[in-house]
Amino acid sequence: MELYKEQQLKIYNSLSKKKEEFTPIVEGNVGMYVCGPTVYSNVHLGNVRTFMSFDLVFRYLKHLGFKVRYVRNITDAGHLENDADEGEDRIAKKARLEQIEPMEVVQRYTVDFHTTLQKFNNIPPSIEPTATGHIVEQIEIIKEIIDKGMAYEINGSVYFDVIKYNETEHYGILSGRNIEDSIHNTRALDGQSEKKNPQDFALWKKADKHHIMRWPSPWSDGFPGWHLECSAMSTKYLGKQFDIHGGGMDLKFPHHECEIAQSKTTNGVHPVNYWMHANMLTLNGQKMAKSTGNNILPEEIFSGDNTILSKPFTAGVVRFFMLQANYRSILDFSSVALEASEKGHSKLMEAISFLPGIAVSKESSFDVKAWKQKCYNAMNDDFNSPILIAQLFDAVKQVNLLKDNKATITAADLALFTTTINAFVFDVLGLPNESENNHSDKLEGVVTLLIKLRKEARDNKDWALSDQIRNELVELGIQLKDGKEGTSFTVS
């Protein structure tokens, strides 16, 4: 019997603003769409947390036995600099500044996105469509919205008529915003905008003569509005209605609100049964921002080449740290928090490595089945990874008691215990399996010895030997970093 028939999953639905029992449209099958990145810069840590959160969702649904079609898009056109449909296309702007083709920008940062998520052990989605690969579908949706009287064309651009839509539907159903309040609090259009109302949003924008990324359409040579691509791709690959739509909290309005309006107008039904939103990541208590310098890239964490953290940290430790908070909670990233997570991660992996050597007895002093269900209860409660991790540390205590012969376990219970802890740690949480590299402690000892020998060489002004040690370690994929507190190393 599939696990999903035994375990009742509940999901916090941003639409109803409460936890609901999860029942997919088609039994045993789940359709899930998550808004992917706009690929014009290196993926930042806040984005990583969002995609890691939905990787956890994907993993647990698969663990329960669901057949999951996970669609996550790549935005490679149409995302302007602000949500008011003004400014340059972000990718085209980057291309102009660097004097390269827009698709070179797209390729560079798509590769960075995939490489970074792979280091964090994220599973690739089932389908990863691009906005530029679905221009035809987007144009067809626009035609249909115009035919239904919910959009208007002016000077080659097409806008969704939010005020008219709101006469029969609720624009703001997801975010809880009231269109009347929005109208009251919005300044009148300054005469520069083509829109009938400030609330209207672009379905198609006419490209000016300087705009590189453009396609022919019935209205003009131009490009689709940012919101439209997700409606087009989710409908194409998951149908008019599907189970789960996810993304960052910042996308709830206006992006997801616009998606609902577009899809409801086109297909006549609300597109999604369960809306999920991951919360933000802060750094040292402040919002992450490149402009203020309060920002750190994943590679800077792995290398230790930053002024924020005390030392380098592995992707496994960072993943463990992020999963210690529920995906709907704000999480603060700091050196102190990472150091604590590193210690906890080490204890967990050490306990797992002890399991094969545990002696069995005729009786068990630990109720393994009850503990196993507590693990499921945690994940069934809206993917509550911090509670699951608390249960795993209860297991660590039991392992230590067993190792010290202060507790007993039968062969059958040990097998169940081992299978369960491995499933939740490696399959569900997706932590890298540290036991696959059981030479890590020896490696650290050898490198530490070489660092000591290199320091002695430097103290003796034997620069040739010092450089030889560093260079030969680099050839082995080991980078040394000299700092005020001494020399540290990372393994690539």
> Within this chain, do residues 161 and 105 fall inside the same structural domain, yes or no?
yes
pLDDT at 190 (0 to 100)? 45
> Does 95 lie in the same domain as 140?
yes
Report yes or no on 336 lying in a domain: yes
Domain of residue 394, CATH code: 1.10.730
Confidence band of 78 (pLDDT split at 50, 70, 90): confident
What pLDDT score does 453 carry? 80
- Shared-domain flag, residues 100 and 46: yes
Q: Is the pLDDT score of 145 beyond 80?
A: yes
Report residue 182's pLDDT band, with 50, 70 and 90 as the boundaries. Answer: low
- The confidence score (pLDDT) of residue 455 equals 84
pLDDT value, residue 483:
80
| Position 302 in a domain | no
Q: Can you tell me the mean pLDDT for 64-73?
A: 98
Model pLDDT, residue 83:
62
pLDDT computed for residue 188 by the predictor? 46
Report the number of distinct structural domains present in the chain: 3
pLDDT, tens only, 312-338: 999 999 999 999 999 999 999 999 999
From CA 66, how far away is CA 27, in angstroms rounded?
A: 8
If you average pLDDT over each of 136-150, 186-200, 448-462, which comes out highest?
136-150
* Distance, C-alpha 351 to centroid of its chain: 28
Confidence check: pLDDT of 81 > 80: no
Q: Are residues 485 and 349 in the same domain?
A: no
Q: Cα separations (Å) of 397 from 152, 350, 418?
A: 65, 12, 14
Same domain (yes/no): 148, 265: yes
Q: How far apart are CA 121 and CA 345, in angstroms?
A: 15
Domain final position from 258, 278, 298: 278
User: Could you list the residue range(s) of the whole structural domain that residue 446 is in?
Assistant: 440-491
Task: Kindly state whether residue 487 falls inside one of the protein's structural domains.
Answer: yes
Q: Which pair of tokens denotes residue 311? A: 């030392």
Q: Rounded to whole angstroms, how far apart are CA atoms 37 and 410? A: 49
- Sheet containing strand 242-248, edge to edge, reads 67-72, 29-34, 242-248, 272-278
Residue 348 has pLDDT above 50, yes or no: yes
Q: What is the pLDDT of residue 438?
A: 45
Strand ordering across the sheet containing 201-206: 151-154, 157-160, 201-206, 222-224
Please indicate, yes or no, if residue 217 is contained in any of the structural domains.
yes
Q: Which residue has the higher pLDDT, 164 or 80?
A: 164
**CA atoms 72, 74, 75, 77: torsion sign:** negative
Question: Average pLDDT in the 220-242 region?
Answer: 97
Prior bond of 37 cis (ω within 30°): no
My answer on whether 416 and 467 are in the same domain is: no
Indicate the angle between helix axes 315-322 and 335-354, nearest 10 degrees: 100
User: What letter does residue 324 receive in the DSSP assignment?
Assistant: T
Query: What's the CA gap between 286 and 293, in Å, rounded?
Result: 11
* 248 shares its domain with 102: yes
The reply to whether 288 falls in a domain is: no
Same domain, 179 and 267: yes
- Is position 297 within any domain? no
10 and 109: one domain?
yes
| 285 within some domain | no
- Looking at the predicted structure, is the pLDDT value of residue 12 above 90? yes
Q: Percentage of residues in the chain with pLDDT exceeding 90?
A: 75
222 near 157, Cβ under 8 Å? yes
pLDDT at residue 189 above 50?
A: no
Q: For residue 184, what pLDDT band results from cuts at 50, 70 and 90?
A: very low
Per-residue pLDDT reduced to its tens digit, 353-370: 999 999 999 999 999 999
DSSP 431: -
Residues 326 and 382 sit within 8 Å (Cβ to Cβ): yes
Cα separation of 473 and 361, whole Å? 47
Averaged pLDDT score across all residues of the chain: 91
The CATH number that applies at residue 113 is 3.40.50.620
Does residue 423 have a pLDDT over 90? yes
pLDDT, one tens digit per residue, over 18-53 is 999 999 999 999 999 999 999 999 998 999 999 999
pLDDT of residue 183: 59
Indicate if 201 and 328 belong to the same structural domain: no
Residue 150 token pair? 């919910």
pTM, to two decimals: 0.87
Mean pLDDT of 453-471: 85
Lowest mean pLDDT among 170-184, 426-440, 464-478: 426-440
For 136-162, b/e burial (b = at least 16 CB within 10 A) is ebbbebbbebbeeebbbbeebbbbbbb
The 10 Å CB-count burial string (b at 16+, else e) for 456-477 is ebbeeeeeeebeebbeebeeee
CB 65 within 8 A of CB 3: yes
pLDDT of the residue at 295: 83
Q: Are residues 253 and 318 in the same domain?
A: no
Q: Is residue 229 part of a domain?
A: yes
147 with 217, same domain: the answer is: yes
Please report the pLDDT score of residue 492 as a whole number. 62
Residue 178's pLDDT band, with cuts at 50, 70 and 90, is: confident
